[in-house]
């Protein structure tokens, strides 16, 4: 594990003898040598250090896999996954890398990241850089370094995040981010804590803050059996999104049995179809299901004329009919960050 200087911390405690980490709302108070609950930020002397200038993943794939459907469809992303997560979701498909330090015997295998080199590779490939699979909000330092190099090279930085940030962290990273797909995993505090081990309120505050700061937002909700797949949960989440902006895309994610929920049943296509109806009834214009409902679940139709404007395969966009940010058939503006 390689440790480098971190941001987002402040002195606290009696006579300021401890350091408070300000990256996530847990705000861990650390004595010298202690690591936070995330296991990737630690105090050394009077400073904070991070282990997140590293990645266990480096691949290039379609931006639709993050998932982003209204951010540069058909483009590609170099994806990095720095260690750690602020949540301990029992259904995490990436638990082998996200739960570093929390699972006994879990070995982290990663390579150091050179932001300049990653951005150069992304520029050559015509791609953005995405932080995903683990929790990118634990890597603000890496995010800022990538964005600094990316601004000169025309390379965006995007996140797939759980949204569990402090207001200070949001303010720091928002100017560095072109787009965020943010998870809203449940509609109430009890259900959210049951799924993640963390409170919901900071996630909703982050959602509102990123939207207010002009970061392009898409939202994902996993339909976890017996918790977040209930219609009442989905109605509440859909209304929360619509209250901010009806044009924010909502991705409904099918639960796949894994990790501590390996014996549970996958989300049924019927439940996903009902969830789509719930989103549309709440006024959301763009509600998506990646695979279980076929091509229709992935396609974008113009809210004006109803014509198909983006056709997607399972992993990538196959056709786009958008001109100057509007429908290629009738000209109605379409919310997104198009080419």
Q: Are residues 14 and 97 located together in one domain of the fold?
A: no
Hey, what are 161's tokens?
A: 């995040």
Query: Which pLDDT score is estimated for 278?
Result: 98
Q: What percent of the chain has pLDDT over 70?
A: 97
The phi-psi region of residue 336 (left if phi > 0; otherwise alpha if psi is between -120 and 50; otherwise beta) is: left
Number of domains in the chain: 2
Hey, what are 199's tokens?
A: 């409170």
CA proximity to 39, closest of 103, 90, 102, 94: 102
Q: Are residues 135 and 14 located together in one domain of the fold?
A: no
Q: Are residues 95 and 153 located together in one domain of the fold?
A: yes
Query: Which pLDDT score is estimated for 109?
Result: 77
Query: Which pLDDT score is estimated for 186?
Result: 96
Residues 6 or more apart from 329 whose CB is under 8 A from it?
302, 305, 307, 309, 321
Query: Which pLDDT score is estimated for 98?
Result: 80
Q: Are residues 68 and 144 located together in one domain of the fold?
A: yes
Q: Are residues 173 and 281 located together in one domain of the fold?
A: yes
With respect to residue 330, please indicate whether it lies within any of the assigned structural domains. Answer: no
Residues 176/143, Cβ–Cβ less than 8 Å: yes
Low-confidence ranges of the chain (pLDDT < 50): none
Instruction: Write out the residue range of the structural domain in which residue 36 sits.
Output: 4-50
Q: Are residues 120 and 230 located together in one domain of the fold?
A: yes
Residues 223/252, Cβ–Cβ less than 8 Å: yes
Length of the chain counted residue by residue: 339
Q: Are residues 188 and 142 located together in one domain of the fold?
A: yes
Q: Are residues 41 and 137 located together in one domain of the fold?
A: no
Q: Are residues 16 and 59 located together in one domain of the fold?
A: no
Query: Which pLDDT score is estimated for 332?
Result: 97
Q: Are residues 232 and 95 located together in one domain of the fold?
A: yes
Query: Which pLDDT score is estimated for 107?
Result: 64
Query: Which pLDDT score is estimated for 21?
Result: 97
Query: Which pLDDT score is estimated for 210?
Result: 98
Q: Are residues 21 and 105 located together in one domain of the fold?
A: no
Query: Which pLDDT score is estimated for 101?
Result: 67
Angle between helices 115-125 and 140-153 (to 10 degrees): 50
Displacement of CA 197 from its chain's centroid (Å): 17
Residue 224 three-state SS: coil
Q: Are residues 18 and 108 located together in one domain of the fold?
A: no
């Amino acid at each position: 594990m390689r440790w480098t200087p971190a941001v987002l911390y402040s002195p606290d405690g009696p006579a300021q003898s401890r350091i408070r980490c300000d990256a996530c709302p847990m705000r861990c108070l650390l004595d010298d040598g202690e690591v936070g609950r995330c296991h990737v930020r630690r105090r050394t002397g009077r400073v904070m250090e991070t282990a997140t200038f590293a990645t266990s993943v480096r691949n290039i794939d379609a931006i639709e896999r993050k998932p982003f459907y209204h951010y540069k469809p058909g483009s590609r992303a170099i994806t990095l996954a720095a260690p750690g997560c602020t949540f301990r979701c029992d259904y995490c498909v990436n638990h082998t890398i996200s739960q570093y330090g929390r699972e006994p015997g879990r070995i982290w295998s990663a390579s150091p990241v050179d932001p300049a080199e990653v951005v150069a590779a992304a520029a050559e490939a015509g791609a953005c850089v995405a932080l995903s699979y683990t929790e990118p909000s634990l890597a603000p330092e890496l995010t800022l370094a990538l964005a600094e190099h990316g601004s000169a090279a025309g390379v965006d930085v995007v996140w797939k995040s759980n949204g569990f940030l402090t207001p200070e962290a949001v303010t720091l990273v928002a100017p560095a981010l072109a787009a965020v797909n943010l998870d809203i995993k449940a509609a109430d505090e009890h259900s959210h804590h049951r799924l993640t081990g963390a409170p919901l309120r900071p996630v909703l505050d982050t959602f509102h803050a990123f939207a207010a700061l002009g970061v392009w937002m898409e939202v994902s909700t996993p339909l976890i059996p017996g918790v977040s797949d209930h219609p009442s949960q989905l109605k509440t989440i859909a209304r929360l999104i619509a209250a901010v902006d009806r044009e924010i895309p909502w991705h409904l994610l099918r639960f796949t049995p894994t990790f501590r929920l390996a014996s549970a049943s996958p989300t049924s296509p019927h439940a996903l179809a009902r969830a789509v109806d719930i989103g549309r009834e709440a006024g959301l214009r763009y509600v998506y299901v990646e695979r279980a409902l076929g091509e229709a679940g992935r396609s974008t139709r113009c809210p004006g004329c109803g014509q198909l404007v983006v056709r997607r395969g399972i992993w990538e966009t196959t056709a786009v009919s958008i001109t100057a940010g509007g429908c290629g058939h009738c000209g109605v503006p379409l919310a997104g960050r198009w080419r």
